[in-house]
Every structure is written in structure tokens, then in C-alpha cells.
């Protein structure tokens, strides 16, 4: 409190991220912060029933305009916002009124539950969301204009955005995110700015901070930063690749040089679990109608159920350690920033746990672009095309009791209800119509 007062903070935002992955916040005045730390700020239960396109409750989400929960800020997530004068933020946990037990629809609680299950097996995940985003402008009529016409890693945008990138580095660092690398990506005006991995809960919290910061800093420079999965049909999409490694007793146990595939038995089973459930997982990790415009073969988005070392067309790309003797980390490319990071990571862990519990065996590695495999070569590698639209992915999710049960009845219902509503309303939308809705949501 002292620190916040010294820094001139007047408002503290309590943030939440809903099933449609829209980040929202209610602010409390600093005078009321102490009470808020105990009892939270109230929001309507129906907030978890809102789809991406407008603030109206999805009819089958199991939520109505009646009822409230409270959003209790987690003080360990406190940030003084470098981009909003006099304001700080904390991430909220959704709790039931009165007894303050976790509300089953809370995405952050869902992730915590999966982390606890994993830790019950003596395991831990370290992870980071690796984001790509576009920097764009709008003309007087509101049409998007590309901010440049460059391609992968060209240095011109790294020069022209120097001040913004510096501002971004300072803003991330002051909020405790450790910046690792930056370069311009393949699309015109597309950038990639990477931060360091952390434990699972913090990586999802960091993803909220990251998105908030990029968008706010860009807007200071008159730019719209967008993480929308596919903005231009003919240019690279925005991935939010989910990088993870498996740890036991503070040791990375992803790799094992004595294993034929260089992956430890436990991690092999964990990754096999993800591959086994991948089509259903798509409904959580690439969960917007727009996501499926990105996931097409030969755009490095990982359109096939498959895994491979340094394979950018496989859904799971594996990297080796420095000496190249064993696996170091896994990257789920089938992940974008239209996914709620708590749900995406939680569901990934649930699938991995299923793989371990059922002793699943990882299929053969895919060493070429899976789009060019002969059908006879696909079976032993489990190579299959991923769902082609959100509707298909939702059908897989509705059949996947492992993912649904991990969510629990209420969250599964609200999540599927929201996503089915989005699919119903947007299934025939053109890219242009999607851009109008989603560009500034994600
Ligand atoms: N932009 C690509 C995607 O949609 C990824 C490119 C890369 O491998 O970094 O995921
Ligand atoms: Mg990239």
C-alpha cells in the first residue's frame, strides 16, 4: 500500500480473461484496495458466457444475467502499469460470494487444478507463450493499412520501430517479464518479441501482461497491435506457440539421451497424450473461427497431428539441448492468441497427464513436411490433418471426456456454449468481417 501510494497510484485494475479470451478489468480506488484484497470486486456470473463478437450471453452457456461472483485480486501479480498513469493491476481469481471458494468457471483456477494434479505426480511444467503480432495503421475510413512491406527478419522495421521496441522492452522489464529476443517476422508489419519461460501459472499471467503491454505501448505510437491469428489471407499468421518442458525436482526431464528418440519416457507419454487429444485440444488452443484460416499446410503453423525435431510444419516442434544429445523443450504450434492462456495451458496439461496415466507411446518422428507424406507413411506417425474449422474442433471436444472432465461440468458447459455460439454466428463470416470484430479484441 505504501509503495503504491508513493508511486501515485489512484486506481488498481482487477483483471480477468473470459472464455472468449477477452481481457477485461474493473478498477478500484486505492482507498478501497485493502477491502478489495479480502472480498474482491463483483462481476456478473454471465461474464463467462460472453462470446467474442458482442456483450450478450451465449444461450447454452448455462449462465444467466442473474447471479454474481467476486474477483479477488492476487497480490503476487501486482504491476504498476507503465502505460497508464496512476494505475496498477492485479489478476483476479473468480470466487463464490460468501465463502470465497473458487468458482468452477474460473479459468485461472482450472489451470491451478491441472498444475496440482501434475505436482501430485511429482512433476512440474515450465512454459512460455511465444507471440507473434502485427503492427498496423488505419486510414480515415477505418480501413487497415499495412505498416510496411517487409518480410522475415528484415532489418528495416527493426529500425523504424526502434523507439517503440525500446519502450516495449522497458515496459515489459519493469513489470517483471524477462525479455529474450526480438525480430521482425514474415508478414508485413509482423513482429516477434520473446520473453523467458517460467512456472506454468506465471507463464499464463505473463501472457495477460504481455498482450496488455504490447497493445498499450503500440497505441502510444499511433499503431494497432493485433494478435489476431490471421489478418491477411496471403501473409503469415500470428502464432502464440506454447513452449513447455517437463521438470522433476528442479531438473528438466524432457530429454533422455539413452532413449531412441531423445525424449524421456515420461515426456514421451505426456506428448503422446497431447497428440492423442490434439483434435479436441484445438477447440481450446486455436478456438476462434479465424484460427482455422491460419492453420493451413505450408504456412509453418503446424496443420498436422505430428511431432518432429525442428519441424516447423509439425504441430509439436521439438528442440534439443545445446549439445544436441536430447530433447530440451516442446513447442505446440497449434496455439494462438485467441485462446485463453489459462484454459489452453490447463487443457494441454490435462491431455499430457492422460498420456502419462495411460502409458501412451509416442509415434515415430516426422522428419519432413507432413503435408508431403504418402498416406501409407502417415499411420505409424499418427499424421492426420487437424480440424479445418471451429465447428469440427468443437465436435471433437464434445466427444473428449478427458478434456471436458478436467474442466468440470460448469466450465465445460460455459466454454462449449460460448464457442458454439461463436461458431453459429460467425461460421459464414468473411475474413473482412472477422477482422472488423477481432482485430482489436486479440
Ligand atoms: N507465423 C507462423 C505461425 O502462424 C510461425 C512462424 C514461425 O515458425 O515462427 O505460427
Ligand atoms: Mg515466429
- pLDDT tens for each residue of 401-435: 999 999 999 999 999 999 999 999 999 999 999 99
What is the spatial distance between Cα 238 and Cα 312, in angstroms, rounded to a whole number? 14
Nearest CA to 45 among 123, 114, 103?
Answer: 103
Question: 98 and 222 in one domain?
Answer: no
Residue 240 has pLDDT above 90, yes or no: yes
What is the spatial distance between Cα 305 and Cα 283, in angstroms, rounded to a whole number? 14
| Average pLDDT over every residue of 148-157 | 85
> Of all helices (H) and strands (E), which one includes residue 199?
strand 198-199
The CA 305 to ligand 2 mean position distance, Å, reads: 19
Domain limit, last residue, from 77, 103, 129: 103
What DSSP state is assigned to residue 193? E
Q: How many domains does the chain have?
A: 2
Question: 309 and 281 in one domain?
Answer: yes
Domain limit, last residue, from 71, 103, 135: 103
Question: 367 and 336 in one domain?
Answer: yes
Q: What is the pLDDT of residue 302?
A: 85
The CA 240 to ligand 2 mean position distance, Å, reads: 9
Domain limit, last residue, from 46, 76, 103: 103
- 412 occurs within a structural domain: yes
Q: Is the CB of 230 under 6 A from ligand 1?
A: no
Give helix 265-285 / helix 390-398 axis angle, nearest 10°: 120
User: Which of 134, 153, 182, 185 for mutating ligand 1's site (highest number of atoms within 8 Å of CB)?
Assistant: 185
Q: What is the pLDDT of residue 24?
A: 97
Q: Is the CB of 242 under 6 A from ligand 1?
A: no
Range(s) of the domain holding residue 59: 2-103
- What cell does 231 get? 489478418
Question: 28 and 135 in one domain?
Answer: no
What string of DSSP letters covers 292-314?
HHH--TTSSS--EEEEEET-TTE
What is the spatial distance between Cα 67 and Cα 48, in angstroms, rounded to a whole number? 12
Q: Is the CB of 237 under 6 A from ligand 1?
A: yes
- 108 occurs within a structural domain: no
Q: What is the pLDDT of residue 33?
A: 95
CATH, residue 294: 3.30.590.10
Residue 158 has pLDDT above 90, yes or no: no
The CA 48 to ligand 1 mean position distance, Å, reads: 30
Q: Is the CB of 294 under 6 A from ligand 1?
A: yes
Ion ligand 2 neighbours, Cβ < 5 Å: 192
| Average pLDDT over every residue of 22-26 | 97
What is the spatial distance between Cα 438 and Cα 228, in angstroms, rounded to a whole number? 6
Question: 118 and 84 in one domain?
Answer: no
| Average pLDDT over every residue of 302-328 | 94
Mean pLDDT, all residues of the chain: 95
Question: 151 and 16 in one domain?
Answer: no
- 320 occurs within a structural domain: yes
In the chain, the percentage of residues whose pLDDT exceeds 70 is 100
User: Which of 152, 182, 188, 237 for mutating ligand 1's site (highest number of atoms within 8 Å of CB)?
Assistant: 237
The pLDDT confidence band at residue 232, using thresholds 50, 70 and 90, is very high
Question: 180 and 99 in one domain?
Answer: no
- 431 occurs within a structural domain: yes
| Closest ligand by atom to 240 CA | 1
Q: Is the CB of 187 under 6 A from ligand 1?
A: no
- 56 occurs within a structural domain: yes
pTM of the model: 0.96
CA 236 to ligand 1: nearest atom: 1
User: Which of 181, 191, 286, 299 for mutating ligand 1's site (highest number of atoms within 8 Å of CB)?
Assistant: 299
- What cell does 237 get? 499468421
Q: What is the pLDDT of residue 277?
A: 98
Question: 53 and 14 in one domain?
Answer: yes
What is the spatial distance between Cα 232 and Cα 151, in angstroms, rounded to a whole number? 14
Question: 162 and 132 in one domain?
Answer: yes
Residue of minimum CA distance from atom 6 in ligand 1: 300
CATH, residue 65: 3.10.20.70
The CA 327 to ligand 1 mean position distance, Å, reads: 21
**Tens-place pLDDT, residues 163-185:** 999 999 999 999 999 999 999 99
Residue 75 has pLDDT above 90, yes or no: yes
User: Which of 133, 243, 286, 300 for mutating ligand 1's site (highest number of atoms within 8 Å of CB)?
Assistant: 300
Question: 304 and 277 in one domain?
Answer: yes
The pLDDT confidence band at residue 287, using thresholds 50, 70 and 90, is very high
**Tens-place pLDDT, residues 257-282:** 999 999 999 999 999 999 999 999 99
**Tens-place pLDDT, residues 352-395:** 999 999 999 999 899 988 888 888 777 777 888 899 999 999 99
CA 130 to ligand 1: nearest atom: 9
CA 190 to ligand 1: nearest atom: 1
Beta-bridge partners for 240: 131
Question: 276 and 209 in one domain?
Answer: yes
- 157 occurs within a structural domain: yes
- 109 occurs within a structural domain: no
Q: Is the CB of 333 under 6 A from ligand 1?
A: yes
Q: What is the pLDDT of residue 142?
A: 81
The CA 151 to ligand 2 mean position distance, Å, reads: 12
Question: 148 and 95 in one domain?
Answer: no
| Closest ligand by atom to 184 CA | 2
Amino acid at each position: 500500500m505504501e509503495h503504491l501510494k508513493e508511486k501515485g497510484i489512484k486506481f488498481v485494475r482487477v483483471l480477468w480473461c473470459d472464455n472468449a479470451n477477452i481481457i477485461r478489468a474493473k478498477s478500484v480506488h486505492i482507498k478501497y484496495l485493502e477491502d478489495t484484497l479480502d472480498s474482491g470486486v463483483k462481476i456478473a456470473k454471465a461474464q463467462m458466457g460472453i462470446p467474442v463478437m458482442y456483450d450478450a450471453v451465449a444461450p447454452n452457456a448455462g449462465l444467466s444475467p442473474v447471479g454474481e461472483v467476486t474477483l479477488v485480486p492476487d497480490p503476487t501479480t501486482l504491476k504498476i502499469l507503465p502505460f497508464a498513469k496512476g494505475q496498477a493491476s492485479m489478476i483476479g481469481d473468480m470466487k463464490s460470494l460468501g465463502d470465497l471458494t473458487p468458482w468452477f468457471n474460473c479459468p485461472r483456477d482450472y489451470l491451478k487444478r491441472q498444475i496440482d494434479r501434475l505436482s501430485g505426480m511429482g512433476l512440474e511444467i515450465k512454459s512460455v507463450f511465444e507471440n507473434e503480432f502485427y503492427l498496423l495503421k488505419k486510414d480515415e475510413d477505418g480501413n487497415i493499412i499495412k505498416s510496411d512491406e517487409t518480410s522475415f527478419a528484415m532489418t528495416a522495421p527493426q529500425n523504424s520501430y526502434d523507439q517503440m521496441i525500446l519502450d516495449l522492452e522497458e515496459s515489459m522489464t519493469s513489470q517483471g517479464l524477462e525479455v529474450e529476443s526480438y525480430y521482425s517476422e514474415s508478414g508485413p508489419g509482423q513482429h516477434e518479441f520473446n520473453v523467458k519461460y517460467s512456472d506454468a501459472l506465471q507463464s499464463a499471467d505473463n501472457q495477460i501482461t504481455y498482450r496488455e503491454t504490447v497493445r498499450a505501448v503500440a497505441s502510444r505510437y499511433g499503431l494497432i497491435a493485433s494478435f489476431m491469428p490471421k489478418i491477411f489471407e496471403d501473409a503469415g499468421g500470428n502464432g502464440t506457440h506454447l513452449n513447455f518442458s517437463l521438470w522433476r525436482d528442479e531438473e528438466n526431464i524432457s530429454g533422455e539421451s539413452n532413449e531412441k528418440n531423445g525424449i524421456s519416457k515420461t515426456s514421451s507419454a505426456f506428448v503422446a497424450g497431447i497428440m492423442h487429444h490434439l483434435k479436441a485440444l484445438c477447440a481450446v488452443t486455436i478456438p476462434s473461427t479465424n484460427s482455422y484460416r491460419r492453420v493451413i499446410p505450408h504456412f509453418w503453423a503446424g496443420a498436422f497431428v505430428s511431432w518432429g525435431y525442428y519441424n516447423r510444419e509439425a504441430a509439436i516442434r521439438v528442440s534439443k539441448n545445446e549439445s544436441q544429445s536430447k530433447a530440451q523443450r516442446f513447442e505446440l504450434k497449434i496455439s494462438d492468441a485467441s485462446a485463453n492462456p489459462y484454459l489452453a495451458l490447463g487443457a494441454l496439461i490435462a491431455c499430457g497427464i492422460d498420456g502419462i496415466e495411460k502409458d501412451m507411446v509416442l509415434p515415430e518422428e516426422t522428419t519432413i513436411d507432413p503435408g508431403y507424406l504418402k498416406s501409407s507413411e502417415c499411420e505409424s506417425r499418427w499424421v492426420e490433418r487437424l480440424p479445418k474449422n471451429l465447428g469440427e474442433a468443437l465436435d471433437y471436444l464434445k466427444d473428449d471426456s478427458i478434456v471436458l472432465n478436467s474442466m468440470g461440468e460448469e466450465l465445460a458447459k460455459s466454454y462449449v456454449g460460448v464457442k458454439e455460439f461463436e461458431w453459429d454466428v460467425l461460421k459464414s463470416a468473411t475474413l473482412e468481417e472477422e477482422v472488423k470484430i477481432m482485430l482489436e479484441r486479440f
